[in-house]
A and B are shown apart, each in its own frame.
Chain A
Amino acid sequence: MNHAPKDMEISVHQLMGELRLNHGLSPCLANHVSIFELHVCDTVDLSKFPVDRIRNFCIIAHIDHGKSTLADRLLEITGAIAKTEKNKQVLDKLQVERERGITVKAQTASLFYSHQGEQHLLNLIDTPGHVDFSYEVSRSISACQGVLLIIDANQGIQAQTVANFYLAFEAQLTIIPVVNKIDLKNADPERVESQIEKVFDIPREECIRLNLEQTLRRFSKRLWRGFHRKQLNTEDPFKALVFDSNFDHYRGVVANIAVFGGRVRKGDKIVSAHLGKTYEVNELGLLRPDEHPTQKLFAGQVGYIIAGMKDVKEAQIGDTLYLQEQPVEALPGFKPAKAMVFAGMYPMDQSEYPGLRSAIERLTLNDSSVTVQRDSSLALGAGWRLGFLGLLHMEVFNQRLEQEYNASVIVTAPTVPYKAVLSSAKLIKEHGSEEITIVNPAQFPERSVVSEYLEPMVLGTILAPDSYTGKIMSLCLNRRAVQKNMVYIDDQRVMMKYLFPLNEIVVDFYDLLKSLSSGYASFDYENAGYQAADLIKMDILLNGRPVEELTTVVHRQRAYSTGKAMCERLKDSIPRQMFEIAVQAAIGSKVIARETIKAYRKNVLAKCYGGDITRKMKLLKKQAEGKKKMRRIGNVEVPKDAFISVLKRKEK
């Protein structure tokens, strides 16, 4: 049974053809403007901006190809921000964004420029760069008329470049490839342009080589000319797309919207198409990039709106807003965020539980895509099972938790949501559906009541120099991946597409890929539905007794290696005891891996006289304290550290 989407097999070349058609449609606005005077206007009279003088665009790129830097420079040139050394990555407001050089939350800035006495409005929507946020990207993109696809002149096309291209391509936007960093040593714009031609089927003449300082003006011109405008009308009923939302403690939810029709003003009653709830608009305005309140927003504009929403879940990304008295059809493509990677989070110490709870609550206020479920583990105490869009999303969340809320947490190794198709009528009735999702191994139904198990799949794109092809192929094979495609994008670089079980890439795949390719390979993936899989439940036994919190769902092929690795980690982290301990991995009653912790043969301090007592007592009391906290499995005492070392995500 194949649950992969049908379009999986679409080849790059088919897509290329479609792209060309799309390009043909782009109207050229060359006559409209010739020389640009970019500047900020002090007074914003938005009614003076007819729809045909507004352009919304976003910049998409692989990590580090210069997206945020370009955005900063654009803001500088239009005077939206001051030109200083410190002004780096202005749109990346979060610490984690600046540190990692990535954008997590989509941000928006409105830029003005005038030409021949006419004011023009350019709305820049900075998007998250990673595919985990592809839904946010795709919603941001749908608010735009065009995208700038930035490619580093040295590194060439990378996995994310490809993923981002398809997002824009599917949204039928005009795509302007920009070859960035051409001044750097080793830059090879020729080669990159021919890659673009080959992979995206965009003629090399359409690429812009960008040397920031010199050609930005020329580039702005191109930018204007390249983007066609959508047919929007300020006379239509109001209709807006929510493409991002934030939570502000004083004002509630701040939603970023793109107005696709009509106008909205303070005091209007608006409705969320998804929830059907009505709100009154308290405040609205432009983002330049800071909030700049205005009286109204018009079709074609991008801005923010505050309407008394109390929870970010009320302003879901992709939702449509309209006026209460003028219902409209919702914009297509809305889907609630779906968690693809799950991990347990527990406080280091149970006394830190309330603090961690409020940190998680505050952080999820700003990120409606994180799912939170209370969980508790015999070993780690009370905690949560959180669902994330993907791995980077999870890492960013953890990092923000640590940096912004100073919370130290135990994060368990990530798991994926499996599914089971039930065969027992009784169970189907109990669950209310034939197909159930299994997030916790404890809920894993027995083989006898299940007609099949399903696991989530992803379509991965790997780009790397061809000298690493062999190693990469064997790594993928090892991860149960099926090759779907392989193309040379130039004479040295190969693009490979593989269908992976998601579970195979959530833990350490990316790190291994990076290390075996000396850092040259790039990887990205998109969700590709569910597929039947031979899943089994594996128990870990200590002297024959199962350890509930270590029960794992694995693919049959991976059972041995996973079981062995868990046994080894346990062996290294359970202290020797007075008797031998068998650490076993078992499927049902069949043991598949075993490690032995040998009994202590001698454990007694050689000397203990008057001067040794103080030190000895300290040590023993510490052990006695530790003993109270240990979890007993039969007669085996297991320290919390042992669970942490088995359950925890490995440090990089």
Chain B
Amino acid sequence: MIKLTCRAAGRVLCPGLRCFSGGEVTEHASGWIQSPHLTEQASLYVHWPYCLRRCSYCNFNKYIPKKNNDHIMTKCLQWETDTLLQLSQVSCITSVFFGGGTPSLTHPSTIAAILETLSKRMSLSDEAEITLEVNPTPAGMSKLDDFVRAGVNRFSIGVQDEDLKSLGRDHSSQEALKTIEEARRLCPGRVSVDIMFGRPKQTVESWEKELSELLRICDDHVSLYQLTLERGTQLFKQVQCGEVTVPAEDVTAEMYQCARKTLQQHGFLQYEVSNFARHNSVSHHNMSYWRGKQYIGVGPGAHGRFVPLGEGGVFREARTQTLEPDVWIREVQQRGHGTRRRIQLSRLELLQEVLVMGMRKTRGISHKHWELFSPEMGLCEIFGASMDVQQLVQSGQLILDDRGLCCSWDGLALLDSILPTLLVELERQILQKPHRDHSVFTDGQTKKTSNPQ
């Protein structure tokens, strides 16, 4: 599933649980198959593909709608939610995230309708985290109240770069400010502000200034994203042909380190590469990705990871929904869902994902957590003997102790250099023990994969 905001940044989530223990859980005996605990629950991501305009850096799956078909879109989102919930046989949805696109453009009734569909299948507790991505616009702001009434209990607000530079000093940044204030009033302690660094013309000094402005107005959660140049975006082209320059690698590295320090000084604990929270206001929805939990993706281009128990499946699948909204709508109308591609994850592939996602957390992966996925082979058994891993431990990038495996403060900034070493070791160890091979199969008429991001 996809989550992403069209504007600058990310999203956040809050804790919540609402669950219902209902459905039947099929017992599977064979080898590495996940414990029932992992298949009982899932989080839900809902993708709203439309935006008002195209941002120069965004390569997400979003469309500028030609005509209003919110009504059909809503119906189809409901329908697909229902189909996939049934397929997954989960008894508990732990959190919901409405991302896009710009989901705050939708009518609050859409949100209400989807949550209603959900509640029909299982009871959804009041504490379950329901996050909505918001772009600060006057129209959006006035709707926040309605969104809360529809069931949303957490906002993730993307602040535009131009707003940040002159926060509170011009019209559009006034809106951003007001939106944040309104969101905080409605969901105190459950508002995330997302901002982006490494933008064209930005310097370490200007970034520090923006950051202190941000700290004045933000709630208890901040997501910082470094701007990444993505192929196919306008910004990519501009940088390629030299019209625009982005800060050099060393500069963005300094921006990152300086933000980490500043936020820590203000009581924000970093809990993931790009996410910071105080008063324990972490995003529960996102945490479940990093913990390798099941998730169901609904909407054009959404990704999911779950075991399709409903059709007798026993292995977790990586699932992708059809990318283009119109095609997706047609498929949902015909088949009840728009799943374009399903790939069964092998034991190794599942563990690779658990490792890659888990290491993004400052706490890394605990022994207990790893055991959930790999009861037969512990972290120490896999990584303890490797010279390369030892070297990372000795150089202070990696920590492997009685709590588990995690990056040091310095190591986290270099995670992508560390992961290949860990993956090589994981593969070597796992392949020594026989496991089932995975297979790829395609659903529906279309064979091509599409990846919405």
Given A607-B274, A624-B424, A615 and B453 contact (CB-CB distance below 8 Å): yes
A609 touches B2 (CB 8 A): yes
Whether B417 sits at the interface, judged by CB under 8 Å, is yes
Query: Is the CB–CB distance between A604 and B356 below 8 Å?
Result: no
Among A579, A602, A616, the one with the most B-chain Cβ atoms within 10 Å of its Cβ is A602
A156 and B178 CA atoms in complex are apart in Å by: 84
Look across to chain B and name the residue whose beta carbon is closest to the beta carbon of A620: B419
- Answer yes or no: B405 CB below 8 A from chain A CBs: no
- A610 close to B305 (CB less than 8 A): yes
A406-437 toward B: CB 8 Å interface, digit per residue (1/0)? 00000000000000000000000000000000
- Residue contact B397 to A578, C-beta cutoff 8 Å: yes
Complex interface residues of chain A between 546 and 591 (CB less than 8 A to chain B): 577-579
Given A602-B249, A602-B256, A610-B289, is A624 in contact with B357 using a C-beta cutoff of 8 Å?
A: no
Please give, as numbers and ranges, the residues of chain B lying within 8 Å of A578 by CB-CB distance.
395, 397, 414, 417-418
Contacts of B353 in A (CB 8 A): 613, 617
Known: A611-B303, A614-B320. A603 touches B10 (CB 8 A): no
Q: Please pick, from A608, A611, A612, A621, the residue contacting B352 in the complex, using a CB distance under 8 A.
A: A621
Q: Chain B, 25-36, contact with A by CB distance < 8 Å: what is the 0/1 string? A: 000000000000
Q: Which of A608, A612, A613, A623 contacts B420 (CB 8 A)?
A: A623
Q: Is the CB of B357 within 8 A of A613?
A: yes
> Which residues of A sit under 8 angstroms from B297, Cβ to Cβ?
610-611
A251 CB within 8 Å of chain B: no
The answer to whether B417 touches A607, judged by C-beta atoms less than 8 angstroms apart, is no
Distance in Å: Cβ of A258 to nearest Cβ of chain B: 63
Residue in chain A with minimal CB distance to B341:
A614
Pairwise interchain contact A627-B286, C-beta atoms closer than 8 A: no
Is B14 positioned at the interface, with any CB of A under 8 Å from its CB?
A: no
- Chain A residue numbers with a CB within 8 Å of B250 are 598, 601
CB contact between A624 and one of B4, B273, B420 (< 8 Å): that residue: B420
Q: Is A510 an interface residue (CB 8 A)?
A: no
Interface size on B, residues (CB 8 A): 56
Known: A579-B395, A617-B352, A624-B427. Is A606-B303 also a contact (CB below 8 A)?
A: no
A520 at interface, CB cutoff 8 A: no
Decide: B253 and A610 in contact? CB cutoff 8 A: no
Contacts of B3 in A (CB 8 A): 609-611
Residues of B within 8 A of A579 (CB): 395
In the complex, whether B202 has a CB less than 8 A from a CB of chain A is: no
- On whether the beta carbons of B420 and A610 are closer than 8 Å, the reply is no
B332 on the A face (CB < 8 A): no
When A601-B249, A604-B413 are in contact, do A610 and B2 touch as well, CB less than 8 Å? yes
- Assess the B303–A614 pair: CB atoms within 8 A: yes
Residue from B286, B318, B397 in contact with A609 in the complex, judged by beta carbons closer than 8 Å: B286
Interface status of A628 (Cβ within 8 A of chain B): yes
Give the contacts of B1-51 with A (CB-CB under 8 A).
Answer: 1-4, 10, 45
Whether the pair A611, B1 counts as a contact (CB closer than 8 A) is: yes
Nearest residue, chain A, Cβ from B418: A578
Question: Residue of B at shortest CB range from A601?
Answer: B253
Asked whether any CB of chain B lies closer than 8 Å to the CB of A509, the reply is: no
Q: Which residue of A lies closest to B295 (CB)?
A: A610
The answer to whether residues A613 and B413 also contact, given A579-B395, A601-B250 and a CB cut-off of 8 A, is no
Does residue A22 face the partner (Cβ distance < 8 Å to B)? no
Pair A611/B249 contact, Cβ less than 8 Å: no
Given A611-B452, A614-B320, A628-B424, check contact A635 B415 (CB 8 Å): no
B208 at the interface (CB under 8 A from A): no
Q: Which of B304, B418, B424 has the most CB of A within 10 A?
A: B424
Interchain CB contact under 8 A, B415 and A604: yes
Contacts of A626 in B (CB 8 A): 420
With a CB–CB cut-off of 8 A, which chain A residues contact B416? 603-605, 620
Specify which of A603, A606, A611 is in contact with B228 (CB 8 Å cutoff).
A606
Q: How far is the CB of A575 from chain B (nearest CB, A)?
A: 9
Name the interface residues of B258-289: CB closer than 8 Å to any CB of A.
273-274, 286, 289
Residue among A579, A606, A611, A621 with the highest chain B CB neighbour number at 10 A: A611
User: Which residues of A are found within 8 Å of B429, using beta-carbon distances?
Assistant: none
In Å, the complex CA distance between A635 and B390 comes to 12
Q: Which residue of B has the minimal Cβ distance to A616? A: B356
Give the shortest distance, in Å, between A157 (CB) and chain B (any CB): 48
Q: A603 touching B225 by the CB < 8 A rule?
A: no
Chain A residue nearest to B9 in the complex (CB)? A607
Among candidates A604, A616, A620, A635, residue contacting B391 with C-beta atoms closer than 8 Å: A635
| Least distance between B21 CB and chain A CB atoms (Å) | 24
Contact A614 to B274, CB < 8 A, known contacts A578-B414, A609-B2? no
Alpha-carbon distance A602/B267, docked complex (angstroms): 23
Residues of B within 8 A of A606 (CB): 224-228, 273-274
Contact A613 B303 (CB under 8 A): yes
On A, residues with C-beta under 8 Å from B are 577-579, 598, 600-617, 620-621, 623-624, 626-628, 635
| The 10 residue pairs across chains A and B that have the minimum distance between CB atoms | A611-B2, A601-B253, A602-B253, A624-B423, A610-B1, A604-B415, A623-B420, A606-B226, A606-B225, A609-B3
A-B contact pairs, 17 of them (CB 8 A): A578-B395, A578-B397, A600-B417, A601-B254, A603-B416, A605-B228, A605-B416, A607-B274, A608-B273, A609-B4, A611-B1, A611-B2, A611-B45, A611-B303, A613-B318, A617-B353, A627-B424
16 more contacts with CB within 8 A, not counting A601-B249, A615-B451, are A601-B250, A601-B413, A602-B256, A602-B413, A604-B412, A605-B273, A605-B416, A606-B273, A608-B273, A608-B357, A610-B303, A613-B318, A613-B356, A617-B352, A617-B353, A620-B420
